[in-house]
A and B are shown apart, each in its own frame.
Chain A
Amino acid sequence: MTTLGVGFLGAGAATQAIHLPAVAALGDHLRVARVMDTDAAIAGKVAAVAASSATTDVDAVLEDPAVDIVVVASPADRHAEQVVAACAAGKKAILCEKPLATSRSDGQRILAAAQSSGTPVVVGTMHAYDPACRAAVSAWQELKTDAILVRSSIYLPTDDIYIDAATQVVSPPPPWTIPRRPWAAGFAPAFITDMVLGLTIHDIPLIRQFSPAVDRVTSAAIVEPVGYALSALCGHGSVELASVVTGDWDAAWRLEAWSETAVLSIDFPPSYVHGGSAHARVETTDGAREWHCPENGYQMEWSHLTELAMGRAGPWIALEAAVRDLEFALDLAEGAGELCESQPG
């Protein structure tokens, strides 16, 4: 059987803990062809683990005919140029880690490049691919009810706990930190943008199922030890987001949507681990339905990516929608940043 070659741009914790296990699980269809990282030592170690070859050169991956699928797992500000380059290189499919990009213009640039080349692009917002989550959202949509309130509550310890549970990492990511007050001008907007694009972004495709556009961010605050909270008006409904990390507590990652006649609640596992899907539940006055599956969002994301690369399926999430997800996230982050910047202290 012919297998598709996977080339990695970036060999950090996400590649090691998330993607290599997912590729291994699809070994009948996929093999690691190239591992690129700007740190040659990391590239070498990760490539060795994956029985592949290492490089520090992006072009070496893009020009390699053995690479069919490109995984963009580099720092977020490099995503746009690398996705565009991978499209131009005629690859069969691209998995871009979240966020797709860090600006609206880069999002549009990616969209234009992908449309021009016909390359399928999947964004690594794994919750959108979680099978229990997809089933629950689909059940909600059948109810034809409008959400009054959407709440995303993310309380996580440091990533290293879960990375260690998922792999033997050779390059742990730096922890989130915030400096002591008073903060320099521009700190709050940049910090909130980092958190929204780095963490809350996983839930944005789901939140947009209930609240498609941001009208106005109405409150925002940076929360210690490291986090933020914001609320926003979105059409006839409201959105409340809270993300706090590096607390000394168990992970809790919950998304809720409330209408007068239905409640959807989804409890996600923490990032990095392969512990099955979310636990999702939809309640109405007629009773409740629940979903949980052995496969998680990462596995489903990779199964789908493989099908796309083989030309056997259409995209579950259109790239246009993924670009709108990015724009929604930027609307939230920028609105929150402006509010925080205007507040004293």
Chain B
Amino acid sequence: MSPPAGVQPAEVLRVDLSALPPGARRTQATVLASLPGLLSTGARPGMDQAGPGIAVVDGTAVGWPARVARAVAEGRRGVLVAAPTTVPTGEAADVAEQADSAGCPVVLALPAQFDPSVRAGLASFRASATTLSLVGSLVTVPADGTAQPGRSLLRTGLLAQLAAVRAAAGRLSGLEFSRDTADGYLATARAGAATVMLSGLLSAVRGYLLQVDLVGVSGRCRIRLPDTPTAAPAFVESYAAAGMTLLRLSYAGGLRAAWVNLHAAITAAEPVHYGLPELAHDLAMVPVTSQAGDINDQC
């Protein structure tokens, strides 16, 4: 489809998926194929094949910030971190500074931050509820019997949870853990005037589940995030005087929206919804753990 007369077509940016493991590469390729007007993994007529393009970094790899740093140093136009996991706060902060100096946008693809249903639902909730007073969130992560320590799995869930709550309620402060074990955690924080209650646990039953409840003075809202990086919709239920409304489902997906955000950040200098500075802030609130083998040992 051609753009309307007078509208410049968007610049199609080249994406390099070569650093991803096969499964993650397939996921990203599917999403990129849904944005042919913005991004491409292959050669296109008129596309600058020799240019630096966009790098995609595997966020599940240990030490992934170093890979981001390398991509920034190579002069990439932007970086997307797929499925980011927790890293030492200092590493995130250092590479955030480096990317900022280089003018290289880095998007952390945590779908909760980008999901179109969630963003639309939150805008609607904020417009109707004058004051947010309580945020409750539960995340469960699969207890899959792998060798990965429970707390390390839970930290990845916590990262997604913090990003989701940040999208819902804004920047958090004063995160305090009252329980933080290999099978679950319980924490509280503040988001402005609102009390935030966070819990997470391993579950062999539900697998991955991320749910956020928002309670305001004049309404409440429940968000349930999809458990896959596909375009499965988030469910946003709004509760008000007229009853419950399930907001229109969007099958665009958070990952696709993350790519659109990165494209806009590169070509139109739009702000990144969730990038390295936000990650560094969130990680700085998470306590260092002492569990052997836990990737958060280094935080």
B143 on interface, CB distance cutoff 8 Å? yes
B26 on interface, CB distance cutoff 8 Å? no
B183 on interface, CB distance cutoff 8 Å? yes
B219 on interface, CB distance cutoff 8 Å? yes
Complex contact A225–B201 (CB within 8 A): no
Contact among B136, B178, B217, B244 for A242, CB-based, below 8 A: B136
B39 on interface, CB distance cutoff 8 Å? no
Complex contact A149–B186 (CB within 8 A): yes
A240 on interface, CB distance cutoff 8 Å? yes
Binary contact readout B121-140 vs A (1 if CB under 8 angstroms, 0 otherwise) = 00000000001011010101
Which of A12-20, A134-142, A215-223 has 4 or more CB atoms under 8 Å from chain B? A215-223
Tell me the B196-234 residues at the A interface (CB within 8 Å).
197, 199, 201-206, 213, 215, 217-220
Set of chain A residues within 8 Å of B195, measured between Cβ atoms: 219, 221, 223, 229
Known contacts A148-B184, A238-B186, A249-B219; decide if A218 and B205 are in contact (CB<8 Å).
Answer: no
Binary contact readout A136-177 vs B (1 if CB under 8 angstroms, 0 otherwise) = 000000000000110101010000000000000000000000
CB within 8 Å: A-B pair count: 107
Given contact pairs A149-B138, A155-B220, a sample of 7 additional A-B residue pairs in the complex whose CB atoms are under 8 Å apart: A149-B184, A218-B186, A227-B133, A227-B134, A240-B197, A248-B240, A249-B219
| Chain B contacts to A: CB under 8 angstroms | 131, 133-134, 136, 138, 140, 143, 176, 178-179, 183-184, 186, 188, 195, 197, 199, 201-206, 213, 215, 217-220, 239-241, 243-244
| Chain A contacts to B: CB under 8 angstroms | 148-149, 151, 153, 155, 216, 218-219, 221, 223-225, 227, 229, 231, 233, 238, 240, 242, 244, 247-250, 252, 258, 260-263, 283-285
28 A/B residue pairs, CB under 8 Å, sorted by A: A149-B199, A149-B201, A151-B136, A153-B213, A155-B220, A155-B239, A219-B176, A219-B188, A221-B195, A223-B134, A224-B133, A224-B217, A229-B134, A231-B197, A238-B186, A240-B136, A240-B186, A242-B136, A244-B134, A244-B215, A244-B220, A247-B215, A248-B241, A252-B239, A258-B201, A283-B206, A284-B205, A285-B204
